[in-house]
Amino acid sequence: IGKTSVLLFVLVNVIALLVCTCEAYQSIKERNIDDGLIININSMSGHRVINNADAHFYSAKLREAKTHIRATCISPGLVETEFAYRLFSKNPEKAAAAYKSIKCLQGVDITNVVCVVCPECSSSSCLSKCRPSLEKTILCC
């Protein structure tokens, strides 16, 4: 059996996404919405995987269901968030340096991309109240 850290990585980065996507899909269906949009905001690391024909099951499941529900990913690269500060909690200088090494995106940049992907979100009253906080925006949309 593998290391516990590998299992935790898979649980957070794979299983959690599967569960959240399935729950979002079920929520959309329960509300009789046929044109929903599931947006996964993920790391660029998700694009560095071995191409696997079995990994297409989400899009295949949506096509099979014959709905207009769509799923998409936004992979922004480095965004200045709390992530590095939590990762290097004992060394805040190292965390700050991680964000100073290149020009980072800000949470509002991701919010703007969500608005492009989902125009309905940009006109949403909850979205206008939540800007520029990315976490609140995602919860509202």
Where do the domains of the chain lie?
1-75
pLDDT at residue 112 greater than cutoff 50: yes
- Single-letter code of the amino acid located at 48: R
- The dihedral sign for the CA sequence 89, 91, 94, 99: positive
**Which has the higher per-residue pLDDT, 140 or 91?**
91
pLDDT at residue 88 greater than cutoff 70: yes
pLDDT band at 124 (very low <50, low <70, confident <90, very high): low
Does residue 85 carry a catalytic annotation?
Answer: no
| Spatial contact of 40 and 74, defined as CB atoms under 8 Å apart | yes
Q: Which of 25, 58, 85, 99 is catalytic?
A: 58
| Spatial contact of 28 and 21, defined as CB atoms under 8 Å apart | no
pLDDT band at 120 (very low <50, low <70, confident <90, very high): confident
pLDDT at residue 44 greater than cutoff 80: no
Q: Which runs of consecutive H residues, i.e. helices, occur in 31-106? A: 57-64, 83-87, 92-100
pLDDT at residue 93 greater than cutoff 90: yes
Token pair in block for residue 121: 């979100």
Cα dihedral 19/25/31/32 (nearest 10): -160
Token pair in block for residue 99: 């964000």
For residue 85, report the phi and psi dihedrals to the nearest 5 degrees: -70, -30
pTM of the predicted model as reported, rounded to 2 decimal places: 0.62
Per-residue pLDDT, 91: 94
